[in-house]
């Protein structure tokens, strides 16, 4: 019986070692690739100084096109937005950008109206994209400070047991790491300037609801952290409110530096769904933003 338990213990120890080695290899492969935007920022962006960067979630990613904006303004910008993220992740992305020794004069924040009022932050759906940098203190501190949606904070503990994060996010990490091993320069739905646009499609007007008003309150803890980070690095923080199909916005603070395009499109031709524009909307919004940005900021 003792001999059997020894074999069993040895088997599990070997299994533990093997799965961690495989997971470490997966994270290393992603770390050296361009697949996710945090990795692309580290591996393939040589420029150090920017006139502006865009941070946000899917609305930031798909509404503002830095190539179009730069062609109008003569500036140099980059879109750092990651879909399915919240205010905490926007803060982390800017911190990651600055940790690479990069600089920007302005930061364009494109968050959903609801995110501005949130104080309870959970680990976001796409926060795992920073897992290849788990050894960095600011990433580890970030994962440790947020509440997990699962029973265990798999991202936090992945610093010592990488198989936790890689196995939990196996579709998002392990399989992409195989792609990254073969094609390290492949990017996941963003171009060389960080942009992506949804395709054009015709919306069903029968499903369109009357516009509801959302009050935007600027009280998020991570918004305050983001403001402090911008202040410490002499970055001008500008709020951008992207076009909305079925919502209108009002603001607790009317004196913020902002560009409000939430009600700029009346025609469904420009929308992919209720909160995202399509390719037509992306081009139009980027042009309108460029002229307003260069004339006011």
- What pLDDT band is residue 26 in, cutting at 50, 70 and 90? very high
* Confidence band for 109, pLDDT divided at 50, 70 and 90: very high
**Residue 12 confidence class, pLDDT cut points 50, 70, 90:** low
3-class SS at 160?
coil
* Per-residue pLDDT at 136: 97
pLDDT of residue 206: 62
More confidently predicted of 18 and 100: 100
With beta carbons less than 8 A apart as the criterion, state whether 100 and 77 touch: no
Dump pLDDT digits (tens) for 262-282: 999 988 999 999 999 999 999
- The string of pLDDT tens digits covering residues 202-252 is 787 766 677 889 899 998 999 999 999 999 999 999 999 999 999 999 988
The confidence score (pLDDT) of residue 3 equals: 73
pLDDT at 207: 64
| Beta strand extents in the chain (DSSP E only) | 49-56, 77-79, 103-110, 212-216, 236-241, 247-251, 258-260
DSSP secondary structure code for residue 44 in this structure: T
Summarize pLDDT for 164-192 with one digit per residue, the tens. 999 999 999 999 999 999 999 999 999 99
Do residues 158 and 131 make contact, with C-beta atoms less than 8 angstroms apart? yes
Least confident of 20-29, 44-53, 147-156: 147-156
For the chain, the average pLDDT equals: 92
pLDDT of the residue at 256 = 84
The domains of the chain are located at 49-153+191-296
Average pLDDT over residues 21-43: 97
With tokens 């759906």, the residue in question is: 125
Predicted local confidence at residue 59, as pLDDT: 97
d(CA 284, CA 288): 6
Q: What is the pLDDT of residues 117-170, one digit of tens each?
A: 888 678 889 999 999 999 999 999 999 998 887 768 999 999 999 999 999 999
**258 backbone φψ class: left, alpha, beta (φ>0; ψ -120 to 50):** beta
- Tokens 């503990």 found at: 157
**Mean pLDDT on 72-90:** 96
Kindly report the backbone phi and psi dihedral angles of residue 271, in degrees, each rounded to the nearest multiple of 5, phi listed first.
-105, 145
**pLDDT given for residue 147 in this prediction:** 85
Q: Is the pLDDT of residue 11 over 70?
A: no
In a 3-state reduction of DSSP, which class is residue 247?
strand
Q: In this predicted model, what pLDDT tens digit does every residue of 277-292 receive, in sequence order?
A: 999 999 999 999 999 9
User: Is 86 within 8 Å of 55 (Cβ atoms)?
Assistant: no
List the CATH code of the domain at 49-153+191-296.
3.40.50
Are 39 and 179 within 8 A, CB to CB?
A: no
Report the distance separating Cα 119 and Cα 219, nearest Å: 7
């Amino acid at each position: 019986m003792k001999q059997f338990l020894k074999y069993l213990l040895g088997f599990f120890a070997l299994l533990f070692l093997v799965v961690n080695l495989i997971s470490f290899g997966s994270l290393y492969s992603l770390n050296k690739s361009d697949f996710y935007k945090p990795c692309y920022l580290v591996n393939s962006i040589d420029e150090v100084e920017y006139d502006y960067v865009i941070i946000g979630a899917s609305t930031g990613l798909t509404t503002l096109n830095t190539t179009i904006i730069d062609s109008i303004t003569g500036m140099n910008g980059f879109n750092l937005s990651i879909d399915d993220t919240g205010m905490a992740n926007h803060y982390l992305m800017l911190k990651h950008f600055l940790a690479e020794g990069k600089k920007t004069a302005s930061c364009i924040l494109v968050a959903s109206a609801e995110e501005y009022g949130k104080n309870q932050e959970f680990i976001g759906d796409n926060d795992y994209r920073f897992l290849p940098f788990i050894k960095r203190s600011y990433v580890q501190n970030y994962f440790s400070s947020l509440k997990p949606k699962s029973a265990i904070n798999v991202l936090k503990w992945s610093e010592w047991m990488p198989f936790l994060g890689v196995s939990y996010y196996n579709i998002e990490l392990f399989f992409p790491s195989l792609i990254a091993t073969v094609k390290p320069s492949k990017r996941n739905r963003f171009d060389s300037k960080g942009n992506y646009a949804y395709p054009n499609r015709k919306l069903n007007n029968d499903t369109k609801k009357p516009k509801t008003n959302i009050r935007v309150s600027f009280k998020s803890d991570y918004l305050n952290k983001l403001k402090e980070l911008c202040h410490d690095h002499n970055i001008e923080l500008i709020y951008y409110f992207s076009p909305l199909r079925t919502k209108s916005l009002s603001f607790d603070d009317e004196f913020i530096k902002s560009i409000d395009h939430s009600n700029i499109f009346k025609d469904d031709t420009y929308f992919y769904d209720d909160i995202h524009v399509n390719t037509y909307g992306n081009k139009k919004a980027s042009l309108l933003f460029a002229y307003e940005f260069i004339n006011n900021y």
